[in-house]
Structure 1
Amino acid sequence: MAEPGAVSGVERHGRPRDPENDAAILDAALDLLIERGAAGTSIEAVAQRAGVAKLTVYRRWRAKDDLLMAALEHARTPDMDAAPARQSIDELVSTTAELLSRPRFRALMARVIGASVDYPKLVTAYTERYLQPRLNALAQIAQQAIDAGRLPADTDPSVIHDILASSIGSVLLQHGEDVTAAQVERRLRTLLRHIGYRA
C-alpha cells in the first residue's frame, strides 16, 4: 500500500492512477494555498477546483498537510533549486532578484511563512526541501568569494545569508506592490557593497 503523498502509479485500491488528475489536484491545491492560505484550503475545495471527486483526492493524500506538501514540491521549477556552488555571487543576486520579482512566488512564500504556527510540518518540509539546500550552497558561494578576494578576508559567510533573508523579507512586505527584478537586484548589490563586496 502506498504511503499518503507518495509517488505511485497505482491507487490504494489497485486502479491505475491518472497523471492528469494528479496534476490537476496539485495545481488546485497550490492555487488555493496562494489565494486562501493553508487554513483556508480544504481537501473538499481542492477537489471542487480540480474537477474531481473528493474520494479521488483522499485516495492519494489522506491529510491536508500531505497534500499541501506535495503541492509545494509540485510547484518547484529548475530555477528554484539550490544554486550550484560554482555560481558567483553576482549570478546568484541576478537569479534571486528575478525569482523575487514573480508575484506568485512572493505570494507562495508569504503563505508558507504565515502557516508556521498552525502548520509547522508544512514549513519544515519547505525549509528542508527548498531553503536549506539553497543556504548550504550559499555558504560555499560566499566562501569562494572570500577566497577570491571579492569579500574582506574576515567576512562571515553567513552574513550573505542574512543579507538575502532581509531582502526577501522586505520584498514580501511589499506584496501589494509591483516589484521588479531590477529593483531587488539594486537593493541586494547596495547591501553587498556595504560589506565590502567587489563585483
Structure 2
Amino acid sequence: MTIDPEASPPRPPGRPRSREADEAILGAALDLLIERGMGATSIEQIARRAGVTRATVYRRFPNLTDLLVRAIEWEYQNTQPEALSWPDVPAMIRDWAGQLSVPRSRRLIRRLYGTVDDLPELLRAYDTAHGSHRGRAVRSTLEQARTTGQLPPHTDPETLQLILSGAALQHLAAYPDTTEPKDIEAYFLAVLRQVGFPAASPSPSRRSTQR
C-alpha cells in the first residue's frame, strides 16, 4: 500500500499553512468555476489543477462549497475602498466599462448568477466581499449627481441603481466578451440619457424668471 505523504501524519496544531498551496488551490477553484461552471467542478479536479493532493485540499477546506466561497472572497480581497469612489457619474461609467471589458470578469459574474438557485452561498459571498460595497458607492455617486444637477432633482438613486445593475446583467448576457470599453461606456450612457442624464441646464430666460 502506498502512503500519501500529504495525508499522514497530520500537522501539529498551529503550524503555519503554505501560502503557495493555499493560493494555488483557490486560484484553481476559481479558474475551474469560470471555465466549467459549478456542476463540472470537483475537489479532485481542483487538486489536480493546483498540483496538490486531495488530502491537502480537504485539510484546508472541508467541502467544495466552503472552498468556492473562500475563492470568491479571495478574488476580491485586494479591492481598495478608493477604487469604489468616483468623482462623478462619467468616471463611474468609465470604471464599469473597463471592468466589463475583461472577459474573465464577465464570465465569473455570469457563473455566480448561474448558481443562485443551487448554491446561493456563492452570490452571497460575492455580495459580502464586493457587491454590497460597490452598491453603496454607486448610490453615493448618483446622489451626488442629483445634488450637483447632473441628474434631474426627481431622480431616485436606488431605483436608478437597479436600472443600471439590470443593464449590466443584460450586457453580460447579450453582448460578446470582446466588446471594447468605449462601446460599453456608450451603452451605459445611452441608458442614463433615458432618465435625463446629464440634466439640461435652465436657459438664461428661464433662470431670470426663477429669480
- TM-score band by shorter chain is 0.7 to 0.9
TM-score by length of 1: 0.86
Contact 1:163–1:188 (CA<8 Å) still a contact in 2?
no
In the TM superposition, 1:22-33 aligns within 5 A as 22-33=22-33
- Which entry has the higher C-alpha Rg, 1 or 2? 2
Partner letter of residue 92 of structure 1? M
Q: Structure 1: 5+ residue runs without aligned partners?
A: 1-10
Partner of 2:153: 153
* Aligned-pair CA distance for 1:74: 1.9
In the TM superposition, 1:29-68 aligns within 5 A as 29-68=29-68
> Do the aligned partners of residues 57 and 81 (structure 1) sit closer, same or farther apart at CA in structure 2, a change above 3 Å counting?
farther
Partner letter of residue 78 of structure 1? T
Q: In 1, distance between residues paired with 2:124 and 2:71? A: 14
**Bigger Cα displacement from structure 2, 44-53 vs 154-163:** 154-163
How large is the RMSD of aligned CA atoms in angstroms? 2.1
Contact 1:47–1:53 (CA<8 Å) still a contact in 2?
yes
Q: In 2, distance between residues paired with 1:175 and 1:182? A: 14
Q: In 1, distance between residues paired with 2:182 and 2:172? A: 16
* Aligned-pair CA distance for 1:80: 9.4
Partner letter of residue 190 of structure 1? A
Partner of 1:174: 174
* Aligned-pair CA distance for 1:34: 0.3
Instruction: State percent identity of aligned pairs.
Output: 38
Partner letter of residue 83 of structure 1? L
Q: In 1, distance between residues paired with 2:103 and 2:61? A: 28
Partner of 2:203: none
Partner letter of residue 166 of structure 2? S
Q: Structure 2: 5+ residue runs without aligned partners?
A: 1-10, 200-211
Asked if 1:107 corresponds to 2:107, the answer is: yes
Contact 2:102–2:177 (CA<8 Å) still a contact in 1?
no
TM-score by length of 2: 0.82
Contact 2:73–2:125 (CA<8 Å) still a contact in 1?
no
* Aligned-pair CA distance for 1:26: 0.7
Q: In 1, distance between residues paired with 2:82 and 2:171? A: 20
Contact 2:152–2:197 (CA<8 Å) still a contact in 1?
yes
* Aligned-pair CA distance for 1:48: 0.7
